[in-house]
Amino acid sequence: MTNGFFITFEGGEGCGKSTQARLLSEELNSQGYNTILTREPGGVSSAERIRKILVEGEKNSLFPMTELLLLFAARFEHVERKIKPELNNGNIVICDRFYDSSLAYQGYGHGIDLNKIEHLKSLTIDSFQPDLTFLLDLPVMEGLSRSKRTNNKELRFENMDVSFHEKLQNGFNQIAKNNSTRFSIIDASQSIEQIKKIILNIVLDKITINKEP
Interface positions with ligand TYD (CB under 6 A)? 13, 18, 39-41, 54-55, 71, 96-97, 101-102, 105-106, 147, 157
> Which residues fall within 8 angstroms of residue 190, CB to CB, at 6 or more apart?
198
Task: Return the amino acid letter for 212.
Answer: E
Q: Are the C-beta atoms of residues 87 and 93 closer than 8 Å to each other?
A: yes
Rounded least distance, CB 50 to ligand TYD, Å: 11
Based on CB atoms, which residue is closest to ligand TYD, 5 or 9?
A: 9
> Which residues fall within 8 angstroms of residue 28, CB to CB, at 6 or more apart?
35, 92, 94, 200, 203
Rounded least distance, CB 154 to ligand TYD, Å: 6
The secondary structure of residue 179, as a DSSP letter, is: T
Task: Return the amino acid letter for 4.
Answer: G
Rounded least distance, CB 183 to ligand TYD, Å: 16
Based on CB atoms, which residue is closest to ligand TYD, 47 or 132?
A: 47
Based on CB atoms, which residue is closest to ligand TYD, 153 or 211?
A: 153
Report which residue's Cβ sits closest to ligand TYD.
157
Rounded least distance, CB 63 to ligand TYD, Å: 13
Based on CB atoms, which residue is closest to ligand TYD, 162 or 205?
A: 162
Tell me if residue 170 falls in helix, strand or coil. helix
Angle of the 192-211 helix axis to the 17-30 helix axis, nearest 10: 50
